[in-house]
């Protein structure tokens, strides 16, 4: 079997390098599924690789080596055009790349639950930080009394200019897929992010036209999902789009994303140019334009608080990185002695 890798988003000439080129379509426990010109293969991902090397993720282009003892190994990860990254949910302050080489991020929200603006802001920062196009997909619009208009208004307020697409994929229905398909487009890689139970896998299946991915009922009391999807998986649509389904995440930690943060809080950034101090954090500083706007009702205090919390998160990240760097230098000196 021979596969044209341009169908998986490869553009241009085949790169120089050792081994076979392929794209990672799934990663689990140290092994990956990789699509190569000769078909889909399974390769060892990280167990034999040094910690310093880039850990391969779904969406990566890689070279494979055939090791006589270990079998297929990922020998190198090609330079990424971009990544969708968050702060690793573990204790350490490190980056976790969710998906690499992404053209579009779809933030998927189910209309059977509330959409706290703070959650949307976090997803937006992560999505915009990738540099990919961003849209919000509201699912379950077929359910009786779905608050499509209210939630669309929330999205428009938090994310001006971001397309909002509503779909209804309940049994016996299926509307709104056209605009989603139009965003996907041929050869483009589209990552779906959202809470468990929001309907990411259901949407992928609807676009595929078959029940390929597992989906799970939500809890009836509070519409929470059951974390049905456990790995990030890239699937190809018949008409050429590449979708990456991901496990649900309730809240997302932001990572190294000052610019995207400023974009999400553009209104606040603009106001702050009129603060007396250029490094004003809009707390107790005198002549703060943001505090003044809160006082006369032009700005929502909670939105300011959320901005400050996210900024503090990025500050903490940078501090920890600097500490780590200092310690790293110390170690190296120590070893040399």
Ligand X SMILES: Nc1nc2c(ncn2[C@@H]2O[C@H](COP(=O)(O)OP(=O)(O)OP(=O)(O)O)[C@@H](O)[C@H]2O)c(=O)[nH]1
- Give contact residues for ligand X (rule: CB under 6 A): 139-140, 142-143, 167-170, 194, 196-202, 215-218, 225-229, 247-248
Q: Taking CB under 5 A as the rule, does residue 229 contact Mg ion?
A: yes
Distance CA 125, CA 131 (A): 10
Positive/negative CA dihedral, 26, 225, 129, 235: positive
The answer to whether the CB of 85 falls within 8 A of the CB of 256 is yes
- The listed partner (Zn ion, Mg ion, ligand X, none) that binds 199, CB under 5 to 8 Å by sort, is ligand X
Among 119, 262, 93, 123, which residue's Cα sits nearest to residue 191? Answer: 123
Give whichever of 13 and 217 is closer to ligand X, judged by the CB atom: 217
Give whichever of 187 and 216 is closer to ligand X, judged by the CB atom: 216
Distance CA 272, CA 286 (A): 12
Give whichever of 34 and 275 is closer to Zn ion, judged by the CB atom: 275
Give whichever of 35 and 107 is closer to ligand X, judged by the CB atom: 107
Distance CA 152, CA 313 (A): 28
- The listed partner (Zn ion, ligand X, Mg ion, none) that binds 280, CB under 5 to 8 Å by sort, is Zn ion
Q: Taking CB under 5 A as the rule, does residue 202 contact Mg ion?
A: no
Residue in this structure with the two tokens 């809240």, named with its chain if needed: 251
- The listed partner (Zn ion, Mg ion, ligand X, none) that binds 217, CB under 5 to 8 Å by sort, is ligand X
Stretch that binds Mg ion, among 42-50, 223-231, 278-286, 321-329 (CB under 5 A): 223-231
Scan residues 250-289 and list those touching Zn ion (CB under 5 A): 275, 280, 282, 288
Q: How far is the CB of 76 from ligand X (least distance, A)?
A: 31
The answer to whether the CB of 174 falls within 8 A of the CB of 132 is no
Give whichever of 243 and 294 is closer to Mg ion, judged by the CB atom: 243
Give whichever of 47 and 173 is closer to ligand X, judged by the CB atom: 173
Distance CA 43, CA 26 (A): 10
- Enter the tokens of residue 224: 């929470």
Q: Taking CB under 5 A as the rule, does residue 232 contact Zn ion?
A: no
Candidates 201, 205, 291, 317; binder of Mg ion (CB under 5 A) is 201
Q: How far is the CB of 40 from Mg ion (least distance, A)?
A: 21
- The listed partner (ligand X, Zn ion, Mg ion, none) that binds 142, CB under 5 to 8 Å by sort, is ligand X
Q: How far is the CB of 122 from ligand X (least distance, A)?
A: 16
Q: How far is the CB of 201 from ligand X (least distance, A)?
A: 3
Give whichever of 73 and 115 is closer to ligand X, judged by the CB atom: 115
Binding region for Mg ion (CB under 5 A): 200-201, 228-229
Binding region for Zn ion (CB under 5 A): 275, 280, 282, 288, 290
């Amino acid at each position: 079997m021979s596969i044209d890798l341009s169908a998986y988003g490869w553009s241009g000439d085949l790169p120089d390098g050792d081994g076979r080129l392929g794209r990672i379509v799934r990663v689990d426990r140290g092994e990956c599924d990789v699509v190569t010109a000769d078909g889909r293969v399974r390769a060892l991902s990280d167990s034999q690789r040094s910690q310093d090397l880039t850990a391969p993720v779904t969406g990566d282009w890689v070279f494979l080596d055939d090791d006589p003892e270990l079998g297929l190994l990922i020998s190198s990860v090609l330079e990424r055009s971009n990544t969708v990254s968050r702060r690793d949910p573990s204790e350490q302050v490190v980056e976790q790349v969710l998906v690499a080489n992404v053209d579009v991020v779809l933030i998927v929200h189910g209309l059977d639950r509330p959409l706290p603006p703070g959650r949307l802001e976090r997803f937006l920062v992560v999505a915009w930080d990738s540099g990919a196009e961003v849209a919000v997909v509201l699912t379950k619009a077929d359910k009786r009394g779905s608050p499509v208009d209210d939630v669309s208004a929330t999205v428009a307020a938090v994310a001006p200019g971001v397309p909002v697409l509503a779909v209804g994929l309940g049994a016996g229905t299926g509307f709104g897929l056209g605009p989603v398909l139009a965003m996907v487009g041929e050869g483009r890689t589209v990552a779906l992010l959202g809470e468990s139970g929001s309907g990411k896998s259901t949407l992928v299946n609807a676009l595929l036209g078959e029940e390929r991915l597992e989906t799970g009922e939500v809890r009836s009391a509070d519409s929470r999902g059951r974390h049905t999807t456990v790995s990030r998986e890239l699937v190809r649509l018949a008409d050429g789009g590449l979708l990456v389904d991901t496990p649900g995440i309730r809240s997302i930690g932001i990572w190294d994303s000052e610019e995207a943060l400023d974009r999400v809080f553009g209104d606040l950034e603009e106001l702050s140019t009129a603060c007396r101090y250029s490094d004003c954090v809009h707390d107790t500083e005198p002549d703060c334009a943001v505090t003044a706007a809160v006082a006369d009702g032009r700005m929502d205090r909670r939105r300011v608080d959320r901005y400050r919390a996210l900024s503090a998160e990025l500050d903490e990240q940078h501090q920890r990185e600097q500490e780590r760097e200092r310690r790293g230098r110390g170690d190296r000196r120590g070893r040399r002695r």
